[in-house]
Amino acid sequence: MQASALHCFLAAALLAPLGSAGAEPTGRTQLVLLGTGTPRPLPDRSGPCTAIVVDGTPYLVDAGPGLVRRAQAATDQGVAGLTPSGIERVFITHLHSDHTVGLPDLIFTPWVIGRRNTLHVHGPKGIREMSDHVLAAWREDIEMRTNGMEKKWPLRVEAHEIQPGVVFRDDKVTVTAIPIRHGAWKHAYGYVFQTPDRRIVLSGDTSPSPELVAACNGCDVLVHETYASATVAPMPNWPEYRRKYHTSTRELGELAKQARPGLLILYHVSRRAQDVDLIPEQVYLDEIGSVYSGRVVFGRDLDVY
């Protein structure tokens, strides 16, 4: 076996999914899919949220609905580091509701059950105002819990409005915000997580963005949204909308050929169809596979890589 082929084989073996029960890390970094869904409320798919866990420290990307309970489910199934009260940092890709309606849950539930430290929320312009409004909306709850019989410690939330480039660094990760193209949104980002043993790129919602190709450039894992050719939606301008806001399977295959990730994970996948309830997962894999020969998996909630 040639050296390059051996490298690809070993990379694929190391990045095999660990499953959703009793998962043990293959290295210092785990990627946990807490939510892989879309605005459509499918019971088995929470809203978009991905956890990067490095040496037991969690960093979240996006705050879709259901994320706190998915974090607890991952904890119950053996993933160390995702106890909800220990989650203290989240990076938001953009301010669409399906990526942010879990933010109040992330602010309050872990605090109620034990988080004492500050929750840091990183995101595009507008994330500070959103966070402030969430706190204002629940001001009576905060007052009751802190000054009533519970005597809770102060609730601390700090919002950080970001620009492209390095937005966070500690001894475990360097996080870089990548501007992406998501229709009319002026501020939308993908993220690169450089950890001691992996480079992971997460697309957020995006149409094909050369910036993501450059950011990956042989990365270990690329987590990317997509839609199949058969997807439909009850809006007359849907074809134009999805071209401007999202990435088709064929476009993603072409993008992956240039980006060369060790593993491509599909998430936040539009599955609306004309004649069936859900487009089968294999359709996406086949459409991407028609132009891209690398390793591709269809992500599911609570998968661990």
pLDDT score for 243 = 85
Q: Is 119 exposed, middle or buried (0-12, 13-18, 19+ CB in 10 A)?
A: buried
Which has the closest alpha carbon to 258: 296, 203, 294, 213? 213
Q: What is the pTM of this model?
A: 0.90
pLDDT score for 270 = 84
* Beta strand spans in the chain (E): 29-35, 49-54, 57-61, 89-91, 119-123, 157-161, 165-169, 174-179, 189-194, 199-202, 221-227, 263-270, 296-298
For the stretch 127-137, pLDDT in tens is 999 999 999 99
Domains of the chain: 3-298 (3.60.15.10)
For the stretch 202-218, pLDDT in tens is 999 999 999 999 999 99
Active site residues: 98
- Residues in the chain with pLDDT < 50? 1-16, 18-25
211 membership: H or E segment, kind and range: helix 210-216
pLDDT score for 16 = 42
pLDDT score for 33 = 98
